[in-house]
Amino acid sequence: MEKTLVQNIGLLCTPQGSSVHAGEMQGQMEKIPEACVLMEDGIITYAGSQADFPMEKAQGAQVIDAGGNLVTPGLIDAHTHLVFGGWRQHEIPLKLAGTGYLDILRMGGGILSTVRHTREASEEELLRRSEGFLNEMLSMGVTSCEIKSGYGLDLENELKQLRVIKKLQETHPMDIDATFLGAHAVPEEYKEDPDGYVDLLTEKILPAVAEEKLARCCDVFCETGAFDVPQSRKVLMAGKALGLVPRIHADEIDAIGGAELSAEVGALSAEHLIASNEEGMQAMAKGGVIADLLPATSFYLDKTFAPARRMVELGIPVVIASDFNPGSCPSLNLPFAMNLGLLRYKLKPEEVLCAVTLNAACSVGMGDKVGTVEAGKQGDLVIWDAPDLDMILYRFGSNLCRTVIKKGRVAHEKG
> Footprint of Fe ion on this chain (CB under 5 A)?
323
| Gyration radius from the chain CA atoms | 21
Rounded to a whole number of angstroms, the minimum distance from the CB of residue 110 to Fe ion is 13
Closest CA to 336 of 178, 200, 136: 136
The listed partner (ligand NIG, Fe ion, none) that binds 114, CB under 5 to 8 Å by sort, is: ligand NIG
Q: Which is nearer to ligand NIG, 329 or 383 (CB)?
A: 329
* Residue 117 φ/ψ region, left for φ over 0, alpha for ψ in the -120 to 50 degree band, beta for the rest: alpha
Q: Would you count residue 149 as binding ligand NIG (CB under 6 A)?
A: no
Q: Which is nearer to Fe ion, 272 or 377 (CB)?
A: 272
**Alpha-carbon gap, residue 350 to 347, rounded angstroms:** 8
Number of residues that bind ligand NIG (CB under 6 A): 13
Rounded to a whole number of angstroms, the minimum distance from the CB of residue 404 to Fe ion is 24
Q: Which is nearer to ligand NIG, 110 or 367 (CB)?
A: 110
Closest CA to 44 of 317, 325, 378: 378
Q: Which is nearer to ligand NIG, 37 or 186 (CB)?
A: 186
Q: Would you count residue 328 as binding ligand NIG (CB under 6 A)?
A: yes
Q: Which is nearer to ligand NIG, 41 or 188 (CB)?
A: 188
Q: Which is nearer to Fe ion, 269 or 372 (CB)?
A: 269
Q: Which is nearer to ligand NIG, 287 or 327 (CB)?
A: 327
24 CB contacts (<8 Å, ≥6 apart)?
none
Rounded to a whole number of angstroms, the minimum distance from the CB of residue 226 to ligand NIG is 7
Site string for ligand NIG, 280-299 (x = CB under 6 A): -----------------x--
Subset of 108-137 contacting ligand NIG (CB under 6 A): 110-111, 114
Q: Which of 233, 249, 348, 406 binds ligand NIG (CB under 6 A)?
A: 249
The pair phi, psi for residue 119, each rounded to 5°, is: -65, -35
Burial 17-41 (b: 16+ CB within 10 A, else e): ebebbbbebbbebeebeebbbbbbe
Rounded to a whole number of angstroms, the minimum distance from the CB of residue 101 to Fe ion is 12
Q: Would you count residue 247 as binding ligand NIG (CB under 6 A)?
A: no
Q: Which is nearer to ligand NIG, 9 or 185 (CB)?
A: 185
C-alpha dist (Å) from residue 27 to 58, 106, 353, 415: 32, 41, 8, 33
Rounded to a whole number of angstroms, the minimum distance from the CB of residue 161 to ligand NIG is 13
Closest CA to 279 of 267, 263, 290, 294: 263
Rounded to a whole number of angstroms, the minimum distance from the CB of residue 262 to ligand NIG is 15
Q: Are 73 and 404 in contact (CB under 8 A)?
A: no
| DSSP letters for 141-170 | TEEEEEEE--S--SHHHHHHHHHHHHHHHH
Q: Would you count residue 325 as binding ligand NIG (CB under 6 A)?
A: yes
Rounded to a whole number of angstroms, the minimum distance from the CB of residue 209 to Fe ion is 18
Number of residues assigned to the chain:
415
DSSP 122: -
Contacting positions for ligand NIG (CB under 6 A): 81, 110-111, 114, 221, 249, 252, 297, 323, 325-328
